[in-house]
Chains A and B, each alone.
Chain A
């Protein structure tokens, strides 16, 4: 039961990293989007992670111990506050009529790719942890064979 719980824990890590990768993919897809439902160019999405203690069972919520293992969850998705990229393109329909500059999304492709590699690495690390826990379970099953 406990080892399975540990796999569940690493699973929350996988889910969180997947949400991060989804947000990055969305940013890359919308790197040139100048029209959104909220108006104005697209603002880059970022996810914020939060520690999520495993206190679902009654005993640990009564005892409230510090040592309980915890997973991770996405506490919120925020929009990047940095300024839009200004590109001179007077022919663009969304260009400023006076200056000719178009406000492009605040998505930096290089940053997004770097973030994606980091998220992937973290995802891989969680997969390694799951595989490791799995070998422990298989080894424990040999007791009493």
Chain B
């Protein structure tokens, strides 16, 4: 985790939240694509649990890269954990989850944007 003032904990946290939302989007899309597949069991991501696991995986003290400044490449769609089976595909439920996930994702992006605008304000007003 970087100690920089600009790319700080909040930014990291929001990035991880976006990854978890992306993973959930993948699971929901899979459910919708397989709506007519016989024997298919719908899955869902427990957002809180998956986020906890993802943050834990990024926690300091874990050897994930050879140098702390190297970028760690995680594929959000292949993050494991937090997924549970919810039974047969229910289209209404999937649509509701889709909307919920969309709003969560947008919220995280919006927070990131506001964080950036805070930094921008500091830079501009500080120079006055």
Contacts and interface: CB of A to CB of B under 8 A. Distances in A.
Contacts, number: 120
A1 to B, nearest CB: 9
Interface residues of A, number: 44
Q: Is the interface of A mostly helix, strand, loop or mixed?
A: helix
Contacts of B76: 2
Q: Is the interface of B mostly helix, strand, loop or mixed?
A: helix
A2 B109 contact: no
B37 A51 contact: yes
A133 B29 contact: yes
Given A9-B30, A126-B33, A132 B78 contact: no
B104 to A, nearest CB: 10
Contact of A129 (B32, B106, B112, B116): B32
B29 A129 contact: yes
A67 B35 CA distance: 18
Contact of B37 (A2, A50, A136): A50
B32 A126 contact: yes
B94 to A, nearest CB: 7
A49 B34 CA distance: 8
A12 to B, nearest CB: 6
Given A72-B34, A136-B25, 14 more contacts: A2-B26, A3-B25, A6-B22, A10-B32, A13-B34, A49-B34, A63-B78, A67-B23, A122-B32, A125-B91, A128-B95, A132-B25, A136-B21, A139-B105
6 contacts: A2-B77, A13-B32, A50-B37, A51-B40, A128-B98, A129-B98
Interface of A: 2-3, 5-6, 9-10, 12-13, 16-17, 20, 48-51, 59-60, 63, 65-72, 118-119, 121-122, 125-126, 128-129, 132-133, 135-136, 139-140, 142-145
